[in-house]
Each structure stands twice: as structure tokens, then as C-alpha cells.
Amino acid sequence: MNAVSSAGPGGKRSPARLPVLPLRDVVLFPAMAATLYVGRARSVAALEQAVKHGNLVLVVTQKSAKVDDPEPSDLHHAGAVARLLQNSPMPDGTRKILVEGLHRARAARIHARGPCFEADVEEIAEIAPDDLETHALIASTAKSFSEYASLNKRLSNEAVNAITASSSSVSAYSDFLAANLNARIEDKQALLEEPDARRRLEKVYELMQQEIEILQLEGRIRSRVKKQMERSQKEYYLNEQMAAIQKELGERDEFRSELAELEEKIESRPISGEAREKCRRELRKLKMMSPMSAEATVVRNYIDWVISLPWNEKTEDKVNIEEAEKLLNREHFGLRKVKERIIEYLAVEKLTRRAGDGPILCLAGPPGVGKTSLARSIASATGRKFVRVSLGGVRDEAEIRGHRRTYIGAMPGKIIQSLRKAGSNNPVFLLDEIDKMSTDFRGDPASALLEVLDPEQNKNFVDHFLDLDYNVSECLFITTANNIHEIPAPLRDRLEIIRLSGYTDLEKEAIALRYLIPKQFEATGLADAAPRFSREAIQFIIHRYTLEAGVRGLDREIASICRKLAIEQLKKKLEPNARITRRGVVRMLGAPRYQRQERAPRDEIGIATGLAWTELGGTLMKVEVSAMPGHGRLTVTGQVGNVMQESAQAALSYLRTRAEVLGLSHLFNEALDVHIHVPEGSIPKDGPSAGITMATAMISELTQIAVHADLAMTGEINLRGRVLPIGGLKEKVMAAHRAGLKRVIFPAENRKDLRDIPRRVRDAMELIPVSHMDEVLQLALGQDELRKHLDRQRGARVTGFQPSSSTRN
């Protein structure tokens, strides 16, 4: 092979094309000698090829040591030209070689043809400044190296002497240090690629300081561990001496009596065979320990936990369906569907007598609607014990499964703790706020609950602290959640969701009269005075002082009024059977906190009233549209989410397909910018149910026909104008009723949800099902107005749009 030569150290010339020897986890520096074992076919071929090039080879490092058969892209291009000093075959077919680095070089191109890699080699020119700053850097590095060498016992004396001897040359000194430094391969490769010797030495100095800190920390840790071991041995020796002294003095009698008591409980308590055998083994270990040792305390605590659990202790179910119905109706107002499902659940359990085989109920709904109290009522109806575990904020798996006994202060998880507290193996077990669990480095508590709530697995539930099979299938598990979408899918699949959608205003009024007011009268000592709340006052509190789906806030406001009435009672200012009116509510609670939503006073152009669902119930949602000369841009504001923005795009696309039918130019959007705004911009809004509302407001603005003010609407729209079903119809209709609206447009596919709406509300309003957007326009804009608009546009070519007054006279 004819190749151009390049100059190496000492004026020697080396061929420009050399065989390549790839190394794993090794970086070869100039003036560094290394013994290597070579076994890969390409590497052996490279050694044989090196003989033809004067025993010269380009040594490079692989980017990843895991690659057994590297390609040129797997290799660093910067390496060192090395001389092959020794090449000895081994019995297993590998080669033992000794190579010496000559100078830095770079592979301009690596060729993969032939038995080995070959590279076009370019020498990397060294920059070795010789000034005062460089000598000062060498002196500082030499001082740090002395400290590093004293801490690093793996450095041989020969290496230390060689490095010290090379300190006169900044280039050789930096290379010697880099070769013997305990650094990452990436850092060493970066040092090899650096041509400036002073910069290289600065990087070496930085890496050496890091290694010194690590070595010093390791030394402190070793010293601390050694002291702790010496202290533990000393304590063991002293404890043994103390045990011998106590034995001589007879003071172990109390410990022996405690052991005898534990042994009696182990044999007499109704525990499982596995648990009994485990306790016997632990007791035998305990007898061999000093009573003062920490291990003895751990063992005693473990045995106490095992023998105190209700392994076979149960309460007898007393399920009477009629009594259960009366109890639920007495303690909870409304919630008809929920109470029906609970009665079904109890009836099936009574007939089958198989506790734990049924579904796991999940009561899902907003705060304050009675989820926890419903679970208590189930316990009362069945005659079982009731235990509640709050899972809000739980992020440690050990909270469910317990800690292993190897940890200091280990305890069983919440499941076992609650069963011990209940003293029964079949309580009604409420897992409250199951959607509020979190996950971090300590594990996933939701995954741990999969075993607890699965009837196929919970017969052999294993707590890490007990390390025994415990049967929790007799428990009647009930869970609660505010947002079921926050529950992990595998866990949600094991639950039967029962939705509590929140109370209507009429239900809140009845709950206040039947439950909350008598309870607060009793709590504040007003039962004898018996003041009376007018219905108007209760409704005023509900509308103007609370904003919730449940009744907790209502209960707090009534309690506040009752406390002020108690003060008046003591001051002799409260008349017997005093009547609390709206004016009295304002006097005692102050100015109203919330503005009641009301219908628009008149029909307006470009403004439509939509209906939205929130966790606090239904609410009105105004949609405003303005059109102005522009270039076809659609803007949606009001802190709306992605789904709602997509609904606006779908509404506009439907409008463009119906432009000519509506008397608009098919190119109207090219000359107009449309701005859709949903007021109350500080409140996030999302969901598809505002689709027909936005479409109606846009068509009203473009046709200059006002939308009827007594009408609200909800429904999703697709590109063909079809009105698709939505959720939360009951809450939305109740919001429209509160605001004084007379008509509500809703998707025809939601007719099935009308039975959930109170009859009083259905009779007071006109609920209109629709299937297509054309029906919505006829109802919202009026057939006569649409016909007049089309008559005005008939025969004329509409090329633009001029906004006019936004209010119809």
C-alpha cells in the first residue's frame, strides 16, 4: 500500500493510513504504555496489519462498551498513534499486546473494507505554552496530585514517580495525570481530544479536585462505620454482662412472666396455623435475647400485633331490607338512584351470604353530597363495625402494605391497623378519597390497593410487616372519590361507580329544613327558642352565600346565623318563634358573596346563552361573537381549553358549508375576522357541549338576527350540523331554571336523562330536544326572522359584511 507519511515525535514519519484498533473502556494517551488482551477478529486482523506498517496502529475508543461488533459510527475519531512493542498469542486464541502511545491523531475517515478497520490519519498538532501562568498551573496541579496520591491507594509508586518526573513538560505532565486519573471514559476522551496542553491540564486539575473530595468523603464514611461497629460490639458485650448480673440477682422474673403470658396467648388465641407457627419461632428467639436489647423490643411488638388481630372474629349481619330503606331515607334526602343501588347490594348479599364476592362500590361525586355518611349508613343497616381510612395525600406504598421489620419504627399498613382497631374481620371498610393518592419514589399505593380490592387476591393479603397471609375478603369495601378520572385505570376497573351528581336547590332547601337547621339549633342551644327560617331566607342563603354541589357551605352559614341568634338569646333580644327573613340573613351574614345568574334583559345580536357543567353544579355560559373586516382569522378567548377551541372550528366549518342557505357569500370568511369570547376569562373552560351555542352566536352576528334571550342551549356539533349528546343535563337545566330562563334546547339523544330532572322543574320549563343545527337556528333566531333575512338577500350577491346595532328593537 502506497501512502503519504506524516511526522511523529522525534521527527519520525508514520503512514497516513493505519489499521484501527478499537478499545472498550480504555483511552490510550501519548507516552502511555498499556498491556491489552485482544480477542475480536477485527482487532486481531488490525494487529497483523500493523506489522506491515512498522508496528504502528491507530488506537481509538468505542463510544459504547456494550457493542461487541462496532461499526465506524460506533468509534471516536480522535485517538493515539501507538507502537506495538509486544504481540504474544495466548492458548485461548487471544493476543496479549503491549502498546506505547506516540502522539495524538484523528481519523479523517475510517474504512470498513477488508478484515480490519483502516483510517486516514491526521496528526493533531500539540499546543504547549511555556509561560509563567503555565508553570504556576503545573505547581498547583503537582500539589493537588500529592494530596490525591496520598488518598488513592490504588496508585503504584512507579506511576507516582513517573508522573512526578514528567512535571517539567506541561504536555507530558497533563497526559500522565490524565492516564492515571480515576475519571469517566467520556472525560478522558475529552482530554485526549484537547490539543492545548494548558487547557488540558486545567481540566485535569478540575477532575482531580472532584476525585479528592470523593476520596475524602469515602474516608470519613469508613471511619464512621468503623466507630459504629466498635460501639455496637461494646454495647453487645455490656448487654451480655448486664444479663448475667440480672440472672444472678433474679431480676429476670418479670421478663420470664411476660414470655409466659405471650406463650399462653399464642396458644389460646384463634389465629391461623401459619401465624401460630411464626409466633412460636419468634418467641423462641425472644427467649434467647436480652430483655433490654432493641431486637427484643421489635420481636415483642411483632408478636403483640399478630395475636391482637381479629383473625376469626366477626359481627353477625343483621340485614333487614325494610329497616335499611327506612334508615337511608331518614338519614339522607334525595339520592334516589344511589339508595336503590345500595338496597340492591344489601339484598343480594343477604340472599347469597357471600361477603366480599360482590362488586366494590365507589361513591363518586363533588364534596359535601354525603358520600361518607352513606357508608356509615350502610354499616348501620348491616350491623357491622365501621372503619374509615383517608387516602388523601398518601404517596407511600408502605401506608397500604406496611413496612418491613428491618426498618426502625416499622408498623403494619392502614388496612391491618384499621382491622385491629375495628376488632372485627368483616367491618364496612371505607377507603375515602381514593382519587387523591399520589405516586413517587416510595412506590404506588394505588397499585397496592389492587390486591386489597380484588376478590381473587384479597383472601391472601400479605402485609409487609406481618409477612403472613391475612384474609380481608370478609370486609365490605366501599370507596369514595370526587373525580373518577384521577383513579388509575386498573383500579377503576375493579370498582362499580355510583355517581352522586349533587343536590338541586329544592333538595338543598329540604335538607336545610329537615336536617341542618334542627342540628344547628341543638348544637347552639336554640331548640327551646325555636326560631323559624322562611323558605325565602333559605333560598337566599343557597343562591347568594354558597356556591357548591353539596351542603357543607350551607351548613356553615346556618351555623353562623345560629351562633348570632344564640348571642341575641342571651341578651334577651330574641323573641320566641322569631322568623328569620332575607333581611335578617343579610344583617347576620353581611353582604351577599355571589351574584345570582340571571337571563339577559333583551334579545341581542351575536350573544347566545349556553349551559355548562362544573363540579359545583350547572352554570350559565354566555358566548359573545364579533365579526370585523379581516382575512379569515378565528380567535377564541376566555381561557378555553383545546376541546372547546376545536368546537369553535367545527361550528365555523359548518357555517361555511351552510353559507348560501343562510344568505351569506360562500367567501364571507375570507373578508372577515371572527372573534369568539366567553366571559369570566379567569375561569378555565373546556368541553364540547358549547358547540351549538358558538354556532348560533356566529350565525346571529353574521345575519344580524338577535338570539332570543329566554332561551338556553347545550349540545355538541359536528361538521354536518348534527347535534351530539352531552353530559350533566340535570345540572344544566337546574341552572337555567334558577336564572329564570323558560326554554332549554338539548340533544335529542339525551331524552333519557329527563327523568332525573325534578317534575316541578320540567313542568315550569319548555325542554326542547333537537337533532340538527337547523332546528336550533329556527328556535333561537325565529323562523320569521330567518325568512325576512333570506328575502333581503335573495337575488343579491353578498360580498362583505357591515356590522350594525347589536340589539334588536
DSSP string, 134-167: HHHHHHHHHHHHHHHHHH-TTS-HHHHHHHHHTT
Beta strands, E only, 350-419: 360-364, 386-390
Annotated catalytic residue 732: yes
**For 701-722, b where at least 16 C-beta lie within 10 A, e where not — what string?**
bbbbbbbbbebbbbbbbbeebe
Q: Are 673 and 632 in contact (CB under 8 A)?
A: yes
Question: What is the distance, to the nearest Å, from the Cα of residue 126 to the centroid of all Cα atoms in its chain?
Answer: 54
Annotated catalytic residue 146: no
Q: Distance between CA 378 and CA 368 in Å, rounded?
A: 18
Q: Distance between CA 182 and CA 154 in Å, rounded?
A: 10
- List 188, 339, 685, 732, catalytic entry: 732
Q: Distance between CA 698 and CA 530 in Å, rounded?
A: 56
Q: Distance between CA 604 and CA 706 in Å, rounded?
A: 5
Give the other-Cβ count within 10 Å of 123's Cβ: 17
Positive or negative torsion for Cα 590, 595, 596, 598: positive
What nine digits make up the cell of 601? 334583559
Task: Report the candidate in 396, 395, 481, 381 with the shortest Cα–Cα distance to residue 431.
Answer: 481
DSSP 573: -
CA angle 532, 536, 542 (to 5 degrees): 100
DSSP string, 164-183: HHTTTSHHHHHHHHHHHS--
Q: Distance between CA 341 and CA 321 in Å, rounded?
A: 12
Q: Distance between CA 399 and CA 415 in Å, rounded?
A: 9
Tell me the C-alpha to C-alpha distance, in Å, between residue 554 and each of 23, 513, 532. 76, 11, 16
Half-sphere exposure of 86 (CA within 13 A, CB side): 11
**Collapsed DSSP state (helix, strand, coil) of residue 415:** helix
Q: Are 16 and 121 in contact (CB under 8 A)?
A: yes
Tell me the C-alpha to C-alpha distance, in Å, between residue 702 and each of 203, 604, 625, 706. 70, 13, 9, 10
- Residues, the chain: 809
Q: Are 50 and 56 in contact (CB under 8 A)?
A: yes
Q: Are strands 617-629 and 672-677 parallel, antiparallel or unpaired?
A: antiparallel
Q: Distance between CA 537 and CA 543 in Å, rounded?
A: 10
Q: Which amino acid is at 244?
A: A
Element (H, E) at 717: strand 716-717
- List 424, 626, 689, 700, catalytic entry: 689
Which long-range contacts (C-beta less than 8 Å, at least 24 apart) are formed by 198-204?
198/127, 198/128, 198/129, 198/133, 198/134, 198/137, 198/170, 200/171, 200/174, 200/175, 201/134, 201/137, 201/138, 201/141, 201/170, 201/173, 201/174, 201/177, 202/137, 204/141, 204/174, 204/177, 204/178
What nine digits make up the cell of 762? 320540567
Catalytic positions, written as ranges: 689, 732
